[in-house]
Amino acid sequence: MSKTDPFGFDMSVSSAKKKNPRGRKGMSGASETSTRICDHPGCEEAGKYRAPKAPDVLDDYYWFCQAHVREYNLKWNFFDGTTEAEMNAQASKDKVWNRETRRFNDPEARAWARLGIEDPHQVLGVNATQNPGKARTGRRKLPPTERRAVEILEAEDHWSKADVRKAYKSLIKVLHPDINGGDRSQEEQLQQVVWAWDQIKDSRNFK
């Protein structure tokens, strides 16, 4: 299969490397385009292997031949000249990828504080108070029978079972003829209240 496309351009990776040989490295790590001489005193071999000059100067390099870069690497010690405390501090930084962690109560640790904002709601500007949110009533999903029971008992769906029971007892005192002085005019409503409490007291939706 031809490596060229129908328009006559060679799209292969090797072709791109041939056109741009700058900085190309071989499998051994040698810079194939380097024209330097080995930096080891007295060596006249080609310096195709780079090595950092010091732990605190990692972007400035010596260039060695293969034999001398191996010798240099064997003697290399990133922590040379550092104290034990400095080594421990560096190890701690490496655990968090050199990103300083801050206490939760540090104001500067808050994203909005770094933007010069004292209150996170200020990020939204005038829109911060545009949506007051839904009222708690009606948020709980209930079966139709339980929803109807809540309405009959004049309760709220976010109440606990104990709170609903208090509402039920208050209605019973008003509607039951044995408690309200013998008035039987509201017996139909009383039956509805009793039915409603039966739905709620056995429901798993009210704790």
Residues 71 and 62: their CA atoms lie apart, in Å, by: 13
The tokens for 191 are 């039956």
Q: What is the mean pLDDT of residues 42-52?
A: 91
Which position has the higher pLDDT, 34 or 112?
34
CA angle 154, 156, 162 (to 5 degrees): 90
**Residue at token pair 């007892």:** 169
Is residue 157 within 8 A of residue 168, CB to CB? The reply is no
pLDDT at 42: 93
The CB density around residue 160, as the number of other CB atoms within 10 Å, is 10
Distances (CA, A) of 60 to 5, 38, 51, 63, 98: 42, 15, 8, 10, 21
Is residue 22 within 8 A of residue 37, CB to CB? The reply is no
Helix (H) / strand (E) element for 187: namely helix 187-201
* Least reliable range by pLDDT among 80-89, 132-141, 198-207: 132-141
- pLDDT at residue 11 above 70? no
Nearest residue to 200 (alpha-carbon basis) of 156, 165, 154: 165
Structure confidence by residue, pLDDT tens digits, 91-106? 777 777 766 666 655 5
The most confident of 63-72, 169-178, 179-188, by mean pLDDT: 63-72
Residues 11 and 15: their CA atoms lie apart, in Å, by: 7
Nearest residue to 142 (alpha-carbon basis) of 132, 151, 133: 151
Structure confidence by residue, pLDDT tens digits, 112-155? 565 666 665 665 665 555 555 544 445 678 888 888 989 988 88
Which position has the higher pLDDT, 98 or 83?
83
- pLDDT at residue 185 above 80? no
pLDDT at 45: 92
